[in-house]
């Protein structure tokens, strides 16, 4: 096994961790399984993107082991959605800001999440880890300093992406109460969707974006499984660390969001210089919802 150092990361070199290959593209960091894309971390908004926000620092695509892309960026119904991302729709601190990209209750103009460093890339047996440092800028001022520690690994019929975000505000900041925003996985519009949680299929109504109390109750995980026209079945689940702040889920089937929302129970107050740690596990799987695997993975170390 090779350890890919920062020097290689910043150049055009690549290294292989078991079946995984890691490369640096212009504006992105890419993990492949043999020759098949597994995960791309977009460091900046692609120039030809239809995204209605300028932020990078999101994941797309995330695929299943059979090569099915499970995420989506800039869909026509919500052009600010960007694969797997973290942002809030209304923040009040050093400057008011909407990094989510809705723009109706706080400014989104000149609010951008920017990558400053990507390093500590390492690999073991079918696993890749990396560390990123990002800044949340409002009119050029840093309002949140973010560090992200990520790990992608292979399980049977699934890829598991572990994400650990540490967010440190530069001033006292309020994350205003909303039914949605925060950590989000935006899935594809194609295919028939079925929602699951640990106790089985979800029959709850879709939540309303203006009514936080309509969000789904907290659970260890929620899963969207898609059946496509060609008969293939694949899906994605989000597992919520029980140590995260109180959470409700804005899982809207039509919008194809899996959104564990820490501001749905109430506004969240952040103190200047005091970090907020959020951890999530994303599982992209082939076939029906893998309940046994998800129940095993719900235990964070």
Residue 198: phi and psi, rounded to 5, are -55, -30
* pLDDT, tens only, 223-281: 999 999 999 999 999 999 999 999 999 999 999 999 999 999 999 999 999 999 999 99
**pLDDT over 80 at 96, yes or no:** yes
* pLDDT band at residue 34 under the 50/70/90 scheme: confident
Q: Does a structural domain hold residue 152?
A: yes
* pLDDT band at residue 121 under the 50/70/90 scheme: confident
Q: Of the candidates 180, 246, 231, 234, which has an alpha carbon nearest to the alpha carbon of residue 64?
A: 234
- Mean pLDDT to the nearest integer, 203-229: 98
Residue 157: phi and psi, rounded to 5, are 60, 20
**Based on C-alpha coordinates, what's the Rg of the chain?**
18
User: Cα angle at 70 between 226 and 89, to 5 degrees?
Assistant: 105
Our count of domains for the chain comes to 1
- Mean pLDDT to the nearest integer, 170-174: 98
Q: Does a structural domain hold residue 29?
A: yes
- Mean pLDDT to the nearest integer, 80-96: 98
Q: Does a structural domain hold residue 56?
A: yes
Q: Does a structural domain hold residue 240?
A: yes
**pLDDT over 90 at 100, yes or no:** yes
**pLDDT over 90 at 16, yes or no:** no
> For position 124, what pLDDT does the model report?
63
> For position 128, what pLDDT does the model report?
94
Q: Does a structural domain hold residue 273?
A: yes
* pLDDT, tens only, 218-231: 999 999 999 999 99
**pLDDT over 80 at 123, yes or no:** no
**pLDDT over 90 at 19, yes or no:** no
- Mean pLDDT to the nearest integer, 23-41: 92
Q: Does a structural domain hold residue 1?
A: no
Q: What is the 3-state secondary structure (H, E, C) of the chain?
A: CCCCCHHHHHCCCEEEECCEEEEEECCEEEEEECCEEEEEEECCCCCCCCCCCCCCCEEEEEECCCCCECECECCCCCCCCECEEEECCCEECCCCECCCCCCCCCCCCCEEEEEEEEEEEEEECCEEEEEEEEEEEECCEEEEEEEEEEEEEEECCEEEEEEEEEEEECCCEEECCCCCCEEEEEECCCCEEEEEECCEECCCCCCCCCCHHHCECCCCEEEEEEECCCCCEEEEEEEECCCCCCCEECCCCCCCEECEECCCCCCEEECCCCCEEEEEEEEEEECCCCHHHHHHHCCCC
CA dist list (Å): 229 to 66, 125, 234? 16, 35, 12
Instruction: Tell me which of 234 and 3 has the higher pLDDT.
Output: 234
> For position 18, what pLDDT does the model report?
56
Query: What is the rounded average pLDDT for all residues in the chain?
Result: 93
CA dist list (Å): 175 to 16, 40, 140, 224, 268? 41, 28, 20, 27, 5
Q: Does a structural domain hold residue 145?
A: yes
Q: Does a structural domain hold residue 25?
A: yes
Count of other CB atoms within 10 angstroms of residue 246: 11
Q: Is 292 exposed, middle or buried (0-12, 13-18, 19+ CB in 10 A)?
A: exposed
* pLDDT band at residue 3 under the 50/70/90 scheme: very low
> For position 125, what pLDDT does the model report?
65
Residue 220, domain extent: 6-297
Instruction: Tell me which of 185 and 7 has the higher pLDDT.
Output: 185
**pLDDT over 60 at 11, yes or no:** no
């Amino acid at each position: 096994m090779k350890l890919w150092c920062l020097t290689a990361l910043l150049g055009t070199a690549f290294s292989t961790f078991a079946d995984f290959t890691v490369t640096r593209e212009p504006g992105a960091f890419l993990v492949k399984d043999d020759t098949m894309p597994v995960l791309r971390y977009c460091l900046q908004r692609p120039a030809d993107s239809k995204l209605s926000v300028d932020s990078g620092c999101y994941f797309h695509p995330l695929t299943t082991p059979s090569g099915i892309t499970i995420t989506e960026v800039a869909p026509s119904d919500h052009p600010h959605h960007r694969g797997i991302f973290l942002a809030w729709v209304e923040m009040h601190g050093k400057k008011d800001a909407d990094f989510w990209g809705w723009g109706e209750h706080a400014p989104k103009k000149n609010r951008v999440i920017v990558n400053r460093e990507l390093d500590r890339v390492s690999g073991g047996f079918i696993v890749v880890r990396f560390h990123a440092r990002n800044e949340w800028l409002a009119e050029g001022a840093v309002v949140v300093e973010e560090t992200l520690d990520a790990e992608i690994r292979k399980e049977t019929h699934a890829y598991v992406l572990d994400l650990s975000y540490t967010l440190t505000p530069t001033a006292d900041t309020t994350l205003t109460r909303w039914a949605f925003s925060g950590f989000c996985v935006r899935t594809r519009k194609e295919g028939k969707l079925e929602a699951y949680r640990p106790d089985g299929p979800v029959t709850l109504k879709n939540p309303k974006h203006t009514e936080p109390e309509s969000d789904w109750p907290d659970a260890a995980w929620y899963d969207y499984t898609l059946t496509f026209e060609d008969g293939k079945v694949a899906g994605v689940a989000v597992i919520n660390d029980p140590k995260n702040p109180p959470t409700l889920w804005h899982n809207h089937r039509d919008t194809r969001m899996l959104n564990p929302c820490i501001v749905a129970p109430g506004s969240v107050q952040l103190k200047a210089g005091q970090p907020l740690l959020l951890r999530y596990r994303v599982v992209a799987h082939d076939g029906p919802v893998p309940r046994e695997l998800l129940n095993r993975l719900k235990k964070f170390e």
